Chain A
Amino acid sequence: MVSVLNTVDTAHEDMVHDAQLDYYGTKLATCSSDRSVKVFDVRNGQQTLISDLAGHEGPVWQLAWAHPMFGNTLASCGYDRKVIIWKENNGTWGKIYEYTNHDSSVNSVAFAPHEFGLLLACGSSDGTISIISSTGDGTWDSKKINNAHSIGCNAVSWAPAVTPNSLFDTGIRQQPVKRIVSGGCDNLVKIWREEEGQWIEEQKLDGHSDWVRDVAWAPSIGLPKSIIATCSQDCRVIIWTNDGSNTTWVSKVLQKFNDVVWHVSWSITGNILAVSGGDNKVSLWKESTEGQWVCISDVNKGQGQISEDKDRENQQN
């Protein structure tokens, strides 16, 4: 059951490319081809523009909210090869850091689980992944995974901090392992692991036959199982699972969709997957007790449209 609570008119002048609610669900950030990032207050059904952030020199592709322990902090990335970190300070939003070390469009940004501190992964069309970090003392550091995906990385996502793969580890390491999953124009999905400060390729998942558009590592639900959803230009969504006992990832194709699948997103509790396709359709998927993935809801983007049309009718009446 999906019902529209709030229709926010972003007043962007061009296509919207991402919209994300913060940790509490009270602030909405949007970004667009019009080069701007906007932050709205959406508490209790309102939609008040808090800030219109200018700083990018090209379309802004993606946004990520940091954990609230770092204040109201937002990262954005765009075609101008920049990653910008914005922060609210006494009610005023401003840029606190700009990372310009990519040679091509930066397509994806994702903050690590807060347990690891402030860590931001960025995937770029130059084929590299950057990991930007700050300890909060004004110094910013970055590492780079070169050649992560030849001719371009489209998406990055962090593994939850409670990595259940205890059997992989020898037991010496007590700290959770940092892992990133990435997808790119080489049609591959790759898993990276940090080891002694270096990022190494742990796994290469080959299943898509066209660009991997998005990847999403499911939040941990306390089981020793890792789940990753990936979607692709080849109109497929693949669910990759690892049972935590070995390094094998089992893939299951959700279904072949009618159009390019652009985006996958897990619910906070990790049991529902939202799949967004180029045909403007969003579908929600859930794993049944038999281990099958079933579509529990088909949301036409129209739904929003319909309710909005109703609003208009009401206004006319």
Chain B
Amino acid sequence: MRIKEIDRTANIAWSPVDQYPIYLATGTAAQQLDATFSTSSSVECYSLNLAEATLDMPLVASKQTECRFHKVLWGSLGIGTSDFPAGVIVTGGDNGDIQVFNADSLIKQDEDCLINKLSHHNGAVRALDLNPFQKNLLASGGGDSEIYIWDLNKTEKPMTPGQKSQPPEDVQCVAWNQQVQHILGSTLTNRCVVWDLRKNEPIIKVSDSMSRIKCKHVVWHPEVATQLMLSSEDDHTPVIQLWDLRYATSPLKVLENHQRGVLSMAWCPQDPDLLLSCGKDNRILCWNPNSNIQGGEVIYEIPTSNQWCFDVQWCPRNPSLISGSTFDGHITIYSLMGGGHPIQPSNKVAESFNTVEPFGQAPIPVPQEQEKVMPLQKPPKWLRKPVGASFAFGGKLVSFGHMKSTNPQQPVPKQVYISQVITETEIVNRSSQLEQAINNNQFLEFCAMKASNCNDNMEESIWNFLKVNFEKDPRKEFLHLLGYDETGLAEKKYTAESNISEGVDASELAQKMSQLGTGVSADGLMTQALLTGNFEAAVDMCLSQNKMAEAILLAIAGGQELLSKTQKIYFQRNKSHLGRLISSIVTHDWPHIINNCELDNWKEALAVILTYSKPEEFSPLCDALASRLESENNGQLSLYASLCYICSGNIERLVENWMRNTENNNAPMALQDLVEKVMILRKAVYLTRGSISEISTGPLADRLNQYAGLLAAQGNLFTALSYLRNANEPSLAVLLDRLYQAIGQPIQGMTQPQFPFQRVNLLPVGVRQPQQQQQEQQQIRQRQQMRGSHQAQSKIGVGYNQPPNMSGPIIPSYQESKTESAWNDPPLQMKRKLEDVCRKLEILYDKLREDTLSQNVLMGLHQIVQYIQQFDYNTCLSIQTQMISQGNFSEISAFMPGVKVLLQTASQLQVYLQ
């Protein structure tokens, strides 16, 4: 496919592979004149602007030169350095000069871009090549069998590869071997001489004694050091020969397809199976030089102009692009990949005719859209993807590579590897630990292990709290954890008592009793009351004298009723914290403690309910305390609420608390922490209560889903599934289904989950021809049915106000739903309209039966029917309009208006034709 075009008769060079963006350097071709007879010459630089879909290549720089050129090269010497950031352009002039330009300076239109002029050759320099290994080594060939080797860094004195080849002739081409850096090939008029620069002599002369070829061009095999191609420009022997220097008596292969002399060749560096050649038969051919087909295998031919094509080159950086230069003044860039995107016509052609031109020709019409050009028959190597690794569900990675075979006889097996990628190793380990603990009922051990591995106090206490859930008397153990030890307390009490040493001695009492008087003093009254057994009065008296201790002691003796009364009075008076605590304990008013305690004393509060509350009120109390911890004091103590939730076994709330208090709670590790706690706690609750509710919704379900997803991504499909197993939330269904199917075997105790998507059944498209017929018949049937229905007025295939997806006969339902109204009594106007439609459709049916309609009309009708089936009347109408505008009027005028009216009516009434 033609991509770009430059109107020049010039020798060209692509910018080297390591130069980006891609440029094209041109040097006005020697010994060729165009119709202007201009003798000016220049070196120019064009940029390959692939982003623009035009044929133009913008001219970047142009420099006038004193001579014209036979050869232009662009070497990568200095690329990446400050010396020649874009490499060097080397030209071979017809005056014998070799000029070296700094490509970067040329592109920047710097006047001093010429960096060297090498004037050693006699006669025109037709042959140039830069060494692929030592970028500074230039080989040049001129007249008189002269070949020089230049060091571009030190150009004073060129070397010669050896003694001049005799007889003296013009050197046509020089080419460095692509594998061995000191081997140089050269062609003179009818022979090819290969030089070894280390030996400084020609090592082989390649000439075919059988055929008389006129060597024009030599190219080396890009990969095989001993193979080269020779092309003959002789019109009688327009062949290309493949030689192997190991058996250099006759060519290995002869490629015969050109009808006239071959002028140039290029071997693709990226794919040795591709060789381009061009010649005086105006053709550019692409060969597979490694094919064993007799006479060579042409795999592509590029349609070119009517002029000799004298040069063809691969774009080094973009191997699907090639350039071809023809003597009609064009350099054309082709893509070998075929296709034909619309290219705007170059206005250059038109422009050039505006100038006064003595040999003006008729303008060549430039096609608006290029003809579709097929791509290269043989897929080029650069499209053949050799490697790949793609992820799949469950952290699986599918990969394949291209192994080089060590033994060419035995092809490498084409293997694909399915691997498991685990990125969260720790999670996988921890998850399996957890699973093991749960399966083996090793909860205590697990919690102890977790607690001892914690380096955070809070975490440690959480794990300890979790752990005691599995102990015999969890509430007592919780107390221990809060720092209230029963035995410790007993000891403390003991020491406290011994300090006070307030033992009451019987004798002492007797002594004191004797001193009690029964006078009118308060004490006396008291004694009286006591002695008479009037506890109530005694208590009252004690109270009035603020003798609380005595009052309570007496109240105890006075019975339950009196006691509570006294307690109440006591608590009313005693407002100390301790008093209140005692009050609550005595009155069993736990909610009061929970709701009123100082939050800093949450531990005490928790201890109280742990000690005293009844099992059924314990959990709500814990939760209430936790809620306070979360909501009050700006949530500073919120973290401790989790301990309360652990005590109460409230998993949902624990999760919520955790989410509030965990930074980055989406991180895999955090999730793992949570899941460990939750699973252990659930187990504990299960053990104590004997049952546990399923997790179905809420934040915990979300987290477990997330966790299952995480495990799934690490390939732990079974474990992941176990976390989802009992979840019945729809959002989990997708993962559940995917896990179940991925495991790919029946799982005990689990039924196959429902497929969570609505299935769409894709229907194949049949072979075109039978389908068309079928459709046609179907169409006739359909029309006939419609016709019948129109006549009968009740049998119309119309579902009135029916959902579009309803199937089967519609008539009954229509009659059921609309018996009394509209349809049986259509507006007169519409009735007439429909009758008219009927008549017109009759005409259509006749035509269909006679098969007199043209293909175009049939196609259109098919389309309409298709869209009717989709209830897309607008598209139907637009197709219909299109048919009318394009079709043969006399052919369709008889029925088309009927179709139109039918469609319009159907559309207006929202009726579905079936």
Asked whether A150 and B390 contact (CB < 8 A) given A73-B762, A118-B760, A308-B415, the answer is no
Report the nearest A residue to B394, measured CB to CB. Answer: A25
CB distance from B48 to the nearest CB of A (A): 10
Binds B, one of A130-138, A160-168, A175-183: A130-138
Contact with A along B390-410 (1 / 0, CB 8 A): 111111111111110000000
Cβ < 8 Å to B, chain A residues 6-59: 6-26, 28, 30, 32-33, 42-44, 58-59
Chain B residues whose C-beta falls within 8 Å of the C-beta of A282 in the assembled complex: 387, 389, 397, 399
CA distance A272 to B420 in the complex (A): 13
CA distance A12 to B413 in the complex (A): 8
Chain B residues whose C-beta falls within 8 Å of the C-beta of A296 in the assembled complex: 423
In the complex, the answer to whether B20 meets A151 with C-beta atoms within 8 Å is no
In the complex, the answer to whether B764 meets A94 with C-beta atoms within 8 Å is yes
Contact with B along A211-253 (1 / 0, CB 8 A): 1010000000000000000000010000000000000000000
In the complex, the answer to whether A21 meets B418 with C-beta atoms within 8 Å is yes
Asked whether A263 and B339 contact (CB < 8 A) given A1-B422, A6-B418, the answer is no
User: Within the complex, which residue of B51, B373, B384, B738 is in contact with A15, where a contact is CB–CB below 8 Å?
Assistant: B384
CB distance from A73 to the nearest CB of B (A): 6
Asked whether A20 and B398 contact (CB < 8 A) given A11-B414, A61-B385, A185-B318, the answer is yes
Contact with A along B611-626 (1 / 0, CB 8 A): 0000000000000000
Asked whether A15 and B402 contact (CB < 8 A) given A138-B763, A278-B387, the answer is yes
In the complex, the answer to whether A24 meets B321 with C-beta atoms within 8 Å is no
In the complex, the answer to whether A28 meets B420 with C-beta atoms within 8 Å is no
User: Within the complex, which residue of A1, A13, A19, A275 is in contact with B416, where a contact is CB–CB below 8 Å?
Assistant: A19
Does A192 sit at the interface, judged by CB under 8 A? no
Chain B residues whose C-beta falls within 8 Å of the C-beta of A146 in the assembled complex: 341-342
User: Within the complex, which residue of A11, A43, A211, A297 is in contact with B421, where a contact is CB–CB below 8 Å?
Assistant: A297
Chain A residues whose C-beta falls within 8 Å of the C-beta of B420 in the assembled complex: 2-3, 5
Does A76 sit at the interface, judged by CB under 8 A? no
Does B119 sit at the interface, judged by CB under 8 A? no
Asked whether A263 and B713 contact (CB < 8 A) given A185-B50, A296-B423, the answer is no
Binds A, one of B549-557, B751-759, B779-787: B751-759
In the complex, the answer to whether B320 meets A152 with C-beta atoms within 8 Å is yes
In the complex, the answer to whether A26 meets B744 with C-beta atoms within 8 Å is yes
Chain B residues whose C-beta falls within 8 Å of the C-beta of A73 in the assembled complex: 762
Cβ < 8 Å to A, chain B residues 16-54: 20-21, 50-53
Cβ < 8 Å to B, chain A residues 91-124: 94-98, 102-105, 107, 114, 117-118, 124
User: Within the complex, which residue of B337, B757, B765, B870 is in contact with A96, where a contact is CB–CB below 8 Å?
Assistant: B765
Chain A residues whose C-beta falls within 8 Å of the C-beta of B339 in the assembled complex: 102-104, 124-128, 152
Does B242 sit at the interface, judged by CB under 8 A? no
Report the nearest B residue to A94, measured CB to CB. Answer: B764
CA distance A5 to B320 in the complex (A): 39
Asked whether A265 and B389 contact (CB < 8 A) given A24-B742, A272-B423, the answer is yes
Report the nearest A residue to B766, measured CB to CB. Answer: A138
CB distance from A95 to the nearest CB of B (A): 7
Q: Which of A24, A33, A136, A140 has the most B CB atoms < 10 Å from its CB?
A: A24
Does A280 sit at the interface, judged by CB under 8 A? yes
Chain B residues whose C-beta falls within 8 Å of the C-beta of A42 in the assembled complex: 418
Q: Which of A9, A186, A262, A267 has the most B CB atoms < 10 Å from its CB?
A: A267
Does A139 sit at the interface, judged by CB under 8 A? yes
In the complex, the answer to whether A276 meets B738 with C-beta atoms within 8 Å is no
In the complex, the answer to whether A276 meets B389 with C-beta atoms within 8 Å is yes
Asked whether A150 and B757 contact (CB < 8 A) given A7-B417, A25-B394, A44-B745, the answer is no
Interface residues on B, range: 35 or more
Does B155 sit at the interface, judged by CB under 8 A? no
Asked whether A138 and B341 contact (CB < 8 A) given A19-B399, A267-B395, the answer is no
Does B325 sit at the interface, judged by CB under 8 A? no
Chain A residues whose C-beta falls within 8 Å of the C-beta of B222 in the assembled complex: none
CA distance A23 to B393 in the complex (A): 7
Report the nearest A residue to B763, measured CB to CB. Answer: A138
CB distance from B779 to the nearest CB of A (A): 16
Asked whether A61 and B391 contact (CB < 8 A) given A19-B400, A151-B320, the answer is no
In the complex, the answer to whether A304 meets B341 with C-beta atoms within 8 Å is no
In the complex, the answer to whether B398 meets A262 with C-beta atoms within 8 Å is no
Contact with B along A84-96 (1 / 0, CB 8 A): 0101000000111
Chain B residues whose C-beta falls within 8 Å of the C-beta of A211 in the assembled complex: 318
Chain B residues whose C-beta falls within 8 Å of the C-beta of A85 in the assembled complex: 762
User: Within the complex, which residue of B340, B399, B403, B741 is in contact with A103, where a contact is CB–CB below 8 Å?
Assistant: B340
In the complex, the answer to whether A17 meets B20 with C-beta atoms within 8 Å is no
CA distance A140 to B21 in the complex (A): 41
Does B804 sit at the interface, judged by CB under 8 A? no
CA distance A10 to B415 in the complex (A): 6
CA distance A87 to B762 in the complex (A): 8
CA distance A91 to B383 in the complex (A): 33
Does B372 sit at the interface, judged by CB under 8 A? yes
Does A200 sit at the interface, judged by CB under 8 A? no
In the complex, the answer to whether B51 meets A188 with C-beta atoms within 8 Å is yes
Chain B residues whose C-beta falls within 8 Å of the C-beta of A79 in the assembled complex: 375, 379, 383
CB distance from B76 to the nearest CB of A (A): 15
User: Within the complex, which residue of B396, B421, B709, B755 is in contact with A1, where a contact is CB–CB below 8 Å?
Assistant: B421
Asked whether A25 and B390 contact (CB < 8 A) given A2-B420, A5-B418, A59-B379, the answer is no
In the complex, the answer to whether A136 meets B762 with C-beta atoms within 8 Å is yes
Chain A residues whose C-beta falls within 8 Å of the C-beta of B413 in the assembled complex: 9, 11
Chain A residues whose C-beta falls within 8 Å of the C-beta of B341 in the assembled complex: 126-128, 146-147, 150
CA distance A22 to B390 in the complex (A): 11
Chain A residues whose C-beta falls within 8 Å of the C-beta of B764 in the assembled complex: 87, 94-97, 138
Report the nearest A residue to B428, measured CB to CB. Answer: A1
CA distance A69 to B338 in the complex (A): 36
In the complex, the answer to whether A20 meets B392 with C-beta atoms within 8 Å is yes
Asked whether A19 and B388 contact (CB < 8 A) given A103-B340, A104-B338, A128-B341, the answer is yes
In the complex, the answer to whether A263 meets B390 with C-beta atoms within 8 Å is yes
Q: Which of A6, A22, A95 has the most B CB atoms < 10 Å from its CB?
A: A6
Does B335 sit at the interface, judged by CB under 8 A? yes
Does A301 sit at the interface, judged by CB under 8 A? yes
CA distance A266 to B338 in the complex (A): 32
Does A274 sit at the interface, judged by CB under 8 A? yes
CB distance from A253 to the nearest CB of B (A): 15
Does B662 sit at the interface, judged by CB under 8 A? no
Cβ < 8 Å to A, chain B residues 688-728: 709-710, 713
Does B386 sit at the interface, judged by CB under 8 A? yes
Cβ < 8 Å to A, chain B residues 642-691: none
Report the nearest B residue to A14, measured CB to CB. Answer: B414
In the complex, the answer to whether A280 meets B763 with C-beta atoms within 8 Å is no
Chain B residues whose C-beta falls within 8 Å of the C-beta of A210 in the assembled complex: 20, 317
Asked whether A4 and B340 contact (CB < 8 A) given A69-B757, A209-B20, the answer is no
In the complex, the answer to whether A19 meets B390 with C-beta atoms within 8 Å is yes
Chain A residues whose C-beta falls within 8 Å of the C-beta of B3 in the assembled complex: 150-151
In the complex, the answer to whether B416 meets A8 with C-beta atoms within 8 Å is yes
Chain A residues whose C-beta falls within 8 Å of the C-beta of B335 in the assembled complex: 151-152
Report the nearest B residue to A22, measured CB to CB. Answer: B392
CA distance A25 to B698 in the complex (A): 30
Chain A residues whose C-beta falls within 8 Å of the C-beta of B801 in the assembled complex: none
CB distance from B137 to the nearest CB of A (A): 27
Does A269 sit at the interface, judged by CB under 8 A? yes
In the complex, the answer to whether A286 meets B50 with C-beta atoms within 8 Å is no
Report the nearest B residue to A284, measured CB to CB. Answer: B421
Does B432 sit at the interface, judged by CB under 8 A? no
Cβ < 8 Å to B, chain A residues 274-297: 274-278, 280, 282, 284, 286, 296-297
CB distance from A315 to the nearest CB of B (A): 14
User: Within the complex, which residue of A16, A33, A136 is in contact with B400, where a contact is CB–CB below 8 Å?
Assistant: A16
In the complex, the answer to whether B321 meets A21 with C-beta atoms within 8 Å is no
A-B contact pairs, 13 of them (CB 8 A): A5-B419, A6-B418, A19-B400, A24-B742, A24-B744, A96-B764, A127-B339, A150-B51, A152-B335, A209-B21, A272-B423, A276-B399, A299-B397
Q: Which 8 A-B pairs have the closest CB atoms?
A: A126-B339, A21-B392, A138-B763, A96-B764, A301-B401, A43-B744, A304-B417, A69-B757
